[in-house]
Amino acid sequence: MGYDAGMNSTTSPSRTVTKRPAGERGQANHGWLQARFTFSFSEYFDPDHMGFQSLRVMNNDTIQAGGGFPKHPHSDMEIFTYVIEGQLAHQDSMGNGSTIESGDLQYMSAGSGVTHSEYNPSSDNSTHLYQVWLQPSENGGEPRYAEKKLGDSAAPNALTLLFSGEGRDDSTAIRQNAEISFGRLDAGSALEIPSSDERPHVWLQVISGEVKIAGETLGTADGVAIQNDSASIPVEATAKTKFLLFRLS
């Protein structure tokens, strides 16, 4: 699946760059849940924002104290949750039950079918998170579950590979030819996203801070799609920044 966002796109002979500003995302307010949608989801529909390659969902949720999603089913989807602030209590039909802490990640491959629930266990504090869905390269298979205890231990001014199709370099293997990394940059620092002929499409989602990439300046909750670029891509931080990086086929 490509990406078409009209006025926010710039092109060059080798690539297309499309910024997705935080303030232009879809939104929903259910009282216990405030959600922002990078791509069409639930009652929010925008034909120009249906996904990017295998990346199908990028939801930025705030769950009020005691709120959450009761048990519900999923199938044939790779689901990743990054907790920005607060905690997320999880239980599923695979027998997993745990609380994901701020700065940590959870992975669930729904496979042939799984049910789970997600709640904010606090009676006082809200939970702020990203939930990301990738379409798998093949449907079916046994559901899978994993956690990444990242916290504040990610290497500064570097990319930390979290998930990959082949599980290389101690990353968790997923059912898609994709790589998901966590980036952490100090103000004034820079890094390069490595080149990849196999995965020439990039999505960068800023968790907090500000970076410059491919001629765009991205602040907190902004995203950018870079299509058809197998070269390395510089990222420069103008403030202390955390981000998620997706390298897609």
Per-residue confidence (pLDDT) for residue 45, from 0 to 100: 98
Q: What digits encode the pLDDT tens for the residues 14-36?
A: 789 999 999 999 999 999 999 99
d(CA 173, CA 191): 24
Is the residue at 226 inside a domain? yes
Of 184, 226, 234, nearest in space to 203 by CA: 226
Domain presence at residue 181 = yes
Residue 107 lies in a domain: yes
Q: Which domain holds residue 110?
A: 6-248
What parts of the chain have a pLDDT lower than 70? 1-13
The pairing of strands 16-20 and 9-11 is antiparallel
Determine the pLDDT at residue 7: 46
* Number of compact structural domains in the chain: 1
Max Cα distance, the chain (Å): 53
pLDDT digits (tens, 9 = 90+) for 46-66: 999 999 999 999 999 999 999
- What pTM did the predictor assign? 0.94
Hunting for tokens 């039950």 — which residue is that?
A: 97
In a domain, 203, yes or no: yes
3-state secondary structure string, 172-188? EECCCCEEEEEEEECCC
- Looking up residue 54, the CATH number of its domain turns out to be 2.60.120.10
Residue 1 domain-assigned? no
**Whole-number mean pLDDT of the chain?**
94
Q: Is residue 172 part of a domain?
A: yes
Residue 222 lies in a domain: yes
Cross-sheet strand order for the sheet of 68-74:
68-74, 114-119, 87-92, 97-101
